[in-house]
Amino acid sequence: MTTVESRAGSKHLSARTLDGVRALLRFEGLALMTVALLLYVRVGGSFSQLALLFLAPDSSMLFYLFGARVGAAGYNAAHSTLGPLTLAAFSIAAAQPSTLPFALIWLAHIGFDRTLGYGLKHASDFRDTHLGRIGK
């Protein structure tokens, strides 16, 4: 059985344990995407706006033109739930409902990526994510 050393360096986790955690995180991404899309429909978001903006966070991959460290930071900034949750909180607190659909599209995109296994990036390589390595 394959083992992976933890960051503390003293514990080993089995591949089966890691796969279970990854599966849970991917399912969590599916739930995030589903709820965000349901809320988007509920607030009256348009399909054309959703189609136009759904992949917009992926433009953050352009940060990789400046190297892996900058690329990972830029990608992670666009793919962390902190940005869209802050935008949603602003929309509600400031009574600016016109910005809420953007936050929901952004959250749906993040959930979609996580469902597919695309996680936040490590500076070591684009394929190294918090959900494991992408590809073989």
Residue 76 predicted with pLDDT over 70: yes
- Mean pLDDT score of the chain: 89
Q: Judge whether 75 and 123 are in contact, CB under 8 Å.
A: no
Stated pTM of the model: 0.85
If one counts every other C-beta atom within 10 angstroms of the C-beta of residue 71, the result is 19
Model pLDDT, residue 85: 98
Spell 29-65 as b/e; 16+ CB within 10 A means b.
beebbeebbebbeeeebeeeebeebeeebeebeebbe
Per residue in 10-64, pLDDT tens? 456 666 666 888 899 999 999 999 999 999 999 999 999 999 999 999 999 999 9
Model pLDDT, residue 9: 45
Q: Which residues contact residue 61 at a Cβ distance below 8 angstroms, ignoring those fewer than 6 apart?
A: 71, 75
Over residues 64-71, mean pLDDT = 96
